[in-house]
Structure 1
Amino acid sequence: MINKKGIHAAFIALALTGSLLTTGPAFAAGTLTVSSPQDPGSWDPVDTFLVNWASVSTNIFDGLTYRGPDRKLVPGLATSWKELDGGKRLRFTLREGVKFHNGEPFNAEAVKYTFDRLLGEEGSKGPQKSNYAVIEKVEIIDEKTVDLHLKAPDPVLLTKLAGYGAMIVPPKYIQEKGEDYFNTHPVGTGPFKFVSYEPKVAIKLEAFADHWGGAPKLSNLDFRFIAEPATAVAELQAGRVDLVIPPTIPIGMIPTIQGDDKLEIVSTPGPTVYALRFNTRDGITKDPKVRKALILGVDRDTIIQSILGGQAAPIASFQGELSFGFDPTMKPLPYDPEQAKALLKEAGVAPGASVQIDVRGNDATFNEVVQAVASYLQLVGINATIKPYETNVLLNDIIPAGKTGAMFQQSWGGWTLDYDNTAYSMYHSGEKWNPYDKDADLDKLLESQRSITDQPKREEILKQIANYAADRALEMPLYNLNAIYGVSKRVKNFTPVPDSRLRLTDVTVE
């Protein structure tokens, strides 16, 4: 049976009381093998934004806060917190008796080191620093109390502390071993500890019996990096993989899994949205009329039904319904090929003009989608060529450097479930994921909402941002895809999470 009731009740009680788990069974022998489509290349929390990093590392690291499958925020390494100075200072009381996997104690020094590092030179090398830039400094009050001094109130910061760059790291270990070693030999305070890592092949973890939340029920947790979806599904069918995580499983293979009495599909609404973003700096897509024409020329509803099997919903902006800032009154541009042709003609684009669409080569489902997009564009006089890249190359070398074609694939989970996390990264001038566009008015809107604690007021600004981006046609919004898991029926107590940040402490295998 799949447990869809959220975080295990014992964990909630533990987190809310701040007490250590002192009773209950020790972890049982058993290994869960998980297929992940991507090796992030570094296990350092400051080095990545990838959900496939989080799928693994949510088991290795803890943050001051924790957000589980039910999307509620509860204590993590901090047992409580309070606002001071009108929200410009956050005081955290830290959990006692916690150790890192190497035996190093968790304390206020570790918290200060983590954020000094994130906001310093090391953090500047990765994509996470801007998410935490509101933190001015960390002050140690005593060994179990720290204050985060903020440049301005940040209504999303407590959620940001539950993942990615804010995961607490061991000062002594990193200082002794060095940054490069830490990238490939991670140490945290989480329920599983690192055993071995073979790049692009696998990472192996084992239960950390001394975890403050109690030992996991598994003894071992193995992640295999299987980029080819058909291979991942074959390994699931053969019993060499127990769990295949998003976004691996092509829609077309869902019936194959459902037809195997040893397997099941578990699908849950997720935050991940897909779009084809535009190069607004060069070529014909520099013109907003052309961008709007390309959007009008693609029948996205038909793509959702025919290729995605209804496992997705259409979107009007680069966010789904789970996102704070979602505007239900916004409607996607309709499929209108005649208007698309008229706009292209008005923009001076002759029939037969070409565009290049850059995609992740291993995303089988999206490759079907983009083939359909290219076919629709052909009907309005645009020749689209599709250029596949290895995922890490596209994400690390091509997009940030502004070397894409006219259009490029972007999928985004918005793991904070707040549109700011998406919009600031996508639209603010100088951000890694915005290599082309500079818009002072949009920058001003993005910056203005970050310090507003009045949530209805901030929500209105986020809706303005979504409408502004849509008016400028900065991307072709495609769909909000469900999180689809392939699961062996050997697996018990698995809770599907919308954002792929798996915490596998309660899972068992038969």
Structure 2
Amino acid sequence: MKKYRKTAGKCLAAILSAAMALSLTACAGGVKGGESGSAASSLGSSESALEGTTGEKIVNIGVTSTVNTLNPLLMDGVEVNKYATGLMFLPLMELNADMEFEGMLADSITAEDENHFLVHIDDKAMWSDGQPVTADDVVYTALRLCSPAIANTAMMYYVFEGVGDDGFVEPGADHIDGITKVDDKTVRFATKEPMSLITFQNSYARYLMPLPKHIIGDIPEDQLASNQWFSHPDVVSGPYRMTSYDKDHYVSYEANEAYWKGAPKIPKLNIRIVEGSQLYAGLQSGEIDITHNTMSAIPLEDYESIQALDTVETSFGDPITNQSVFINTKNVPDSKLRQALLYAIDRNQILEQLLKGNGEIVDGFLSSAGPYYDPSVIPVSYDLEKAKALLAESSWDPSRTLRFYVDSGDSTFVNAASVIAAQWSALGVRTEIRTMDINTLMSTAGSGDFDIMAVQYTYPPVDPYVDIAWLLGGDGSWTGYENDEVNEALSKIATLSDTEELKKQYGIIDRRMQEDVPMFSAYVIRTMAAKNKRLTGAVPSVYGFLNHVQDWDITG
């Protein structure tokens, strides 16, 4: 397991940024409907965002996460950055609404063995200037992602042959031993250690967005991170090209009429970055046309008001966002005490009262949304008497107070934490709730200076391996927890692709979480999304939201 724990530890930055993207909201306005690239709006206008002042079709996507980069070489794992960039530069592959892998630039990805993967670029894939997308573009982009001059550590390319353990090649390197051109449309990736095809597709194919080598290949690599070409890219592989950008307020796009999968029906599209509290007003006025289940954090208190809008239809996504509670086993080493804490919480009461039933209760990491969920892992039920018996058998010092750290930006769980603390008090365990902003919370988590810490965390349903391996990785992980049975299961998972066998191994891990409780799930959230009824072809979904954005249209 040591080699996998090394990999998982290095993945931390990407994992955390992707997970935390679901918790953060931006404090900004947006682009006024019908005015691509204009200044921020207050969302107070009654003007329709679906039709601009000239009658041109425009769609505004309302999100609550800041877009920090639109440069494929600076991808950091945050989903909103990936999706906003993917509108211009398609990834090799993406997940669809059914959480199946769908080719975007690639039409196939196959495993030659556990260390070698072949990526074939769709023969029809073209840049907007009419040039074909080739293997040279993929190899060029991968080489730049490994450049120490660009210094992107989040993309985790140290797993490939020829890349150093720091994730970089030698300065000035002109190739990567483990990423090579086979022919004009095929690239071979070779990993240092065995890897499942699922992990390769989810962690690498979804995040590698090839750039046009014939356009930017002569730009010095030390200038690529900040080059102005990325502010107005004139050659793209995706359905849209960006026209203006304010990372805290908006991204505006115009259609790529030469898009090789078909010209978009919507000429202009905006991503509007707003506060969650502004989404209802935007949907009501028509200044926001559609929201996303995880990138658009609609406050729970606005659900019923949005559902009552005549012009809007709503839907609920799969339960994938886990309100995880991590226990530092170095500070709370007694497993009977940790078990007692779990049995003392009435999680169903919290789900019904605070989330209005929009979610589910599970034990461990996996929810029912994923293919490896084992329904035979029955969640621990609230049982105060059993909790008290376990506490009596533990080494708990009743004079002690546990420090319980919570994200101040997650108002729902701040309330839930108060309920949990009251239930622990009834058990006989005192806790002190400390709220802090997400960045401070992550810093505290990394330092290990906490007893209990809660944060929203999304474990990718198709491949939660890397996250789980990190979190249960012993010293240096949030939990400080390590177990031989868990290590054995993770070792098997690392190379498995069979769904039933993966379900068995993940079930072993989730059952161990019930027994040892280094973490537990307070609840898993099913979040709401909404769209204007006049917008057709668009279906909010946790995954695959923008896969076919070229087919979106406006009727009526």
TM range (shorter): 0.7 to 0.9
Q: CA deviation at 1:240?
A: 2.3
- Per-residue CA shift, 1:299-357, capped at 9, x if unaligned? 00111112212211111121112323322111112212233334334434344643333
2:20 counterpart residue number: none
> 1:347 maps to which residue?
394
Cα 1:192/1:48, change in 2 over 3 Å? same
AA of the residue aligned to 1:95:
D
**Which residue identity lines up with residue 268 of structure 2 in the other structure?**
N
Taking a change above 3 Å as real, the CA distance of residues 447 and 221 of structure 1, as seen in their structure-2 partners, is farther
Q: Which residue of 2 aligns with 1:141?
A: 182
The Cα of 1:449 is off from its aligned counterpart by: 2.1
The one-letter code sitting in structure 1 at the alignment partner of 2:375 is P
1:392-431 deviations in Å (ceiling 9; x for gaps): 5545x443x3356322233333335233244234323578
Structure 1 444/107 Cα, relative in aligned 2: closer, same or farther at 3 Å? same
Q: How has the CA–CA distance of structure 1 residues 183 and 268 changed in structure 2, closer, same or farther, with 3 Å as cutoff?
A: farther
Query: Aligned to 1:461, what secondary structure does the other structure show?
Result: helix
What is the DSSP-based 3-state SS (H/G/I as helix, E as strand, rest coil) of the residue aligned with 2:350? helix
CA gap 1:209/1:48 in 2 versus in 1, 3 angstroms: same
Higher mean alpha-carbon deviation, 485-494 vs 354-363, is at: 354-363
Give how far 1:376 is off: 2.2
Structure 2 residue corresponding to 1:241, chosen from 254, 268, 288: 288
Query: Are 1:216 and 2:256 an aligned pair?
Result: no
What amino acid does structure 1 have at the position aligned with 2:93? T
Quick one: structure 1 residues 506 and 409, their matched pair in 2 at CA, closer, same or farther if it must change by over 3 Å? farther
Matched pairs, number: 474
> 5+ residue gaps in structure 1?
1-27
Change (3 A) 1:53 1:448: same
Within 5 A, what are the aligned runs for 1:111-260?
111-118=138-145, 121=148, 125-129=152-156, 133=159, 137-150=178-191, 151-157=193-199, 159-160=201-202, 164-170=206-212, 172=216, 175=220, 177-181=223-227, 185=231, 189-227=237-275, 229-247=276-294, 248-260=297-309
> What SS does the corresponding residue of 2:425 show, helix, strand or coil?
helix
Aligned positions of 1:53-68 closer than 5 A: 53-68=81-96
Give the corresponding residue for 1:16: none
Aligned residue in 2 for 1:446: 490
Could you tell me how far apart the structure 2 residues matched to 1:444 and 1:383 are?
A: 36
1: CA distance, partners of 2:449 / 2:546: 32
Which of 383, 403, 406 is 1:359 aligned to? Answer: 406
Contact kept, 8 Å, 2:459 with 2:467, in 1: the verdict is yes
Query: Which residue, 400, 413, 423 being the options, matches 2:468?
Result: 423
- SS for the counterpart of 2:251 is strand
Q: Which amino acid aligns with 1:460?
A: K
Q: How does 1:299-310 map to 2 (within 5 A)?
A: 299-310=346-357
Q: For the residues of structure 2 that align with 1:390 and 1:170, how far apart are their CA atoms?
A: 39
Distance between the aligned counterparts of 1:501 and 1:389, measured in 2?
32
Task: Name which of structure 1's ranges 132-141 and 267-276 shifts more when overlaid on structure 2.
Answer: 132-141
Shift in Å, 1:457: 3.4
Q: Aligned partner of 1:179: which letter?
A: A
2:399 and 2:281 map into 1 onto residues whose CA distance is 41
SS in 1 for 2:382: coil
8 Å CA contact retained: 1:352, 1:381: no
Verify the 8 A CA contact 2:407 2:454 in the aligned structure 1: yes
Which residue of 271, 275, 287 corresponds with 2:324?
Answer: 275
Quick check: 1:297–1:377 contact (8 Å CA) kept in 2? yes
Secondary structure of the corresponding residue to residue 551 of structure 2: coil
Using the TM superposition, give the Cα deviation of residue 237 of structure 1 relative to its aligned residue in structure 2, in angstroms.
2.3
Partners of 1:377 and 1:143 lie apart in 2 by 62
Q: What is the distance in 1 between the residues matched to 2:285 and 2:394?
A: 54
One-letter code of the match for 1:464?
A: I
Q: State whether structure 2 residue 458 is matched by structure 1 residue 413.
A: yes
Matched residue of 1:165: which SS?
coil
Q: Distance in 2 between matches of 1:182 and 1:351?
A: 61
Check 1:49–1:295 CA distance in 2 against 1; reply closer, same or farther (3 A cut): farther
Q: Could you say if the C-alpha distance between residues 384 and 103 of structure 1 is closer, same or farther in structure 2, counting changes exceeding 3 Å?
A: farther
* Structure 1 residue 258, shift from structure 2 partner: 1.6
Using the TM superposition, give the Cα deviation of residue 153 of structure 1 relative to its aligned residue in structure 2, in angstroms.
4.8
User: Is the 8 Å Cα contact of residues 58 and 501 (structure 1) preserved in structure 2?
Assistant: no
Is the Cα–Cα contact under 8 Å of residues 192 and 206 in structure 1 kept in the other structure?
yes
- The Cα offsets for residues 347-368 of structure 1, whole Å up to 9 and x where unpaired, read as 3434464333333333333333
Structure 1 residue 464: Cα displacement: 1.9
8 Å CA contact 1:378–1:384 kept in 2: the answer is yes
In 1, Cα distance between the equivalents of 2:149 and 2:368? 35
Alignment of 1:308-387 (within 5 A): 308-351=355-398, 353-387=400-434
**In structure 2, what residue type is equivalent to 1:94?**
I
In structure 2, relative to structure 1, the CA distance for the partners of 1:321 and 1:94 (3 Å cut) is same
Deviations 1:195-237 (A, max 9, x none): 233232222222222222122222222222224x222223322
- Equivalent residue number for residue 71 of structure 1: 99
Structure 2: gaps of 5 or more residues: 1-54, 163-177
Q: How far apart in 1 are the matches of 2:336 and 2:230?
A: 47
When structure 1 is superposed on structure 2, of 255-264 and 386-395 the one drifting more is 386-395
Decide which of 402, 421, 427 is 2:447's aligned counterpart.
402
- Where 2:197 maps in the other structure, the secondary structure is coil
Which of 506, 513, 537 pairs up with 1:469?
A: 513
RMSD: 3.4
How much identity, in percent, do the aligned residues show? 20
Partner amino acid for 1:168?
Answer: P
Q: CA deviation at 1:473?
A: 0.8
Q: Amino acid of the residue matched to residue 449 of structure 1? A: I
**Preserved contact between residue 54 and residue 501 of structure 1 (Cα < 8 Å):** no
Moved more, 176-185 or 272-281: 176-185
TM value normalised by structure 2: 0.75
Q: Secondary structure at the match of 1:256?
A: helix
C-alpha separation in 2, matches of 1:118 and 1:233: 39
Q: Name the SS for the 1:166 alignment partner.
A: coil
**Structure 1 residue aligned with 2:38:** none
Contact 2:372 2:500 in 1 (8 A): no
Q: 1:215 to 1:363 in 2, by over 3 A?
A: farther
Contact 1:429/1:443 (8 A) holds in 2: no
The whole-number CA distance in structure 1 between the counterparts of 2:289 and 2:318 is: 22
Report the Cα offset of residue 143 of structure 1.
Answer: 2.2
Write the mapping of 1:4-15 to structure 2, written as runs, cut at 5 A: none
User: Aligned in 2, Cα 1:266/1:76: closer, same or farther, shift over 3 Å?
Assistant: same
Report the CA distance between 1:444 and its aligned residue.
4.5
Q: Displacement of 1:373 after TM fit?
A: 2.2
Shift of residue 485, structure 1, vs aligned partner: 0.3
1:315 maps to amino acid: V
